[in-house]
Chain A
């Protein structure tokens, strides 16, 4: 059952130098209970998509066209009041550098209680009890809920932020780089925690990251973004076994791994494009080993090749 459907989303940022074409005609759908990963390098638009779903974009962001369907409603056409009702309750978010999202002068419990009571009209005591449950859920000691953020370690703060995101029992959680700035061991614990929670609560997850290893391990479906376009979208296993888009292939070849035979990494030539004036046609063509004439002229269509394996590339025919 589809729970989220993004259709032909086009989003630009207005700057002094012109429009930054951050998201250009992106379409994908997410099934209920699925863990979907959105992977790409910095500036590819993945965070923008996450923010677009929640309509938490900065003032210079302009949605040019497209729809985002949550259930049957188009989030982009909802009045702000109704959107506010959906935020946190329907869809919630774990922000990048989330540990900095905690207000240092308030107790953590108070912050979560406030988040809950902003969206649900329940008495304080009930909210506090929910915090208790949430803490147990994310593996934190409920006795420490009254502490201040600086008394927590990085990993603990991250768990607190996850608890906050779960506090109103959302249907979808968007996690935007939830483990950057965390050490390897803590990162691993948090990721497995998130995975456990997702399975236990049958939640839908959209996991945004630049780290393809983390995405590979946590997500069932993976969408690869490049410079504002969706290059490929497939089941995790299919994507790794048979990457179709040249960018995906290039990405796979440029990641070192701790397992498997040691092989020479092949860097992707060139630089990610300037989105003020992105390349014509397929945005990857200046760096693509398979680039043909048509790639410079026409934007390839995002096509389902088989078994929900989508890709946008002229070379695939």
Chain B
């Protein structure tokens, strides 16, 4: 009755597991759509390095076409035309992809990391620490984000793109922390945590080695939704004129279009950045939906 068992190495198991997760993710068609859209934007972002190499006039912020003064319609040289300063709009669009991804992902990462750590500590220790942290979270949640950023921007004089990233991150952590906290509350009573305690594990080890891996899938899920929010927030800020004028983001493009009075005259200027913002934000949201169906049943899995 002895069966020949093929012993798999750890590496083989890891590959199998990744394949398994991907197989599960693939079942969600919206999730795969989200990834497809994201891949397109990644290509666009990488492609943003190409136009400046072709000709200096394609440099997004400074490059102007010597032959054209100001606003022009799409042409062979400029697939989307030029803006009011004679700068090529297509290279601006590509540059915007780079910033959209950078800002979205970094800001979301910041808020999810802070939110997860706060959620872990809050949920595990309970008591006074929990109350304090959760009250702080509540305060941040009730702050109106855009007026606040306006005030800070006024106080600092100007907002760089990284100021904006930090601000979005600092305003976004409470929602993640609450979800992580409730996960931790249920996890900390589980026998495998008691077992760790019986072995002599310290609180920090239990939090970061035992509990954290179990909440990370949820964190990742919240990060995808966080990126959506971050992209939209940055676009809104830039459009309102609170953005960083030295970076070319899609929001800034919209702002320039608006303030130069070309809103209704230049669909090739107005529509592309707007659509890009929508679709990039959407792609992360769809990825989130695809991830959710992996994360949620897994959390309940035996």
Contacts and interface: CB of A to CB of B under 8 A. Distances in A.
The answer to whether any beta carbons of A and B sit under 8 Å apart in the complex is yes
Interface of A: 269-270, 286-287, 291
A287 B1 CA distance: 8
Contacts of A270: 1
A270 B2 CA distance: 10
Nearest to A291: B1
Interface residues of B, number: 1
Interface string B1-44: 10000000000000000000000000000000000000000000
Interface of B: 1
**Considering the complex of A and B, which 5 residue pairs feature the smallest CB-CB distances, nearest first?**
A286-B1, A270-B1, A269-B1, A287-B1, A291-B1
A286 B2 CA distance: 10
Nearest to B3: A286
A238 B167 CA distance: 78
A81 to B, nearest CB: 35
B20 to A, nearest CB: 12
A197 to B, nearest CB: 36
A281 to B, nearest CB: 14
A48 to B, nearest CB: 19
A20 to B, nearest CB: 16
A36 B174 CA distance: 58
B55 to A, nearest CB: 55
5 contacts: A269-B1, A270-B1, A286-B1, A287-B1, A291-B1
A291 B1 CA distance: 10
B21 to A, nearest CB: 15
Contacts of B1: 269-270, 286-287, 291
A270 B3 CA distance: 11
B63 to A, nearest CB: 54
A282 to B, nearest CB: 14
Contacts of A286: 1
Contacts of A269: 1
A7 B1 CA distance: 33
A4 B1 CA distance: 39
B66 to A, nearest CB: 63
A104 B178 CA distance: 29
A270 B1 CA distance: 9
A285 to B, nearest CB: 9
Nearest to A289: B1
B3 to A, nearest CB: 9
A189 to B, nearest CB: 31
Contacts of A291: 1
B289 to A, nearest CB: 19
A266 to B, nearest CB: 16
B27 to A, nearest CB: 9
A38 B1 CA distance: 29
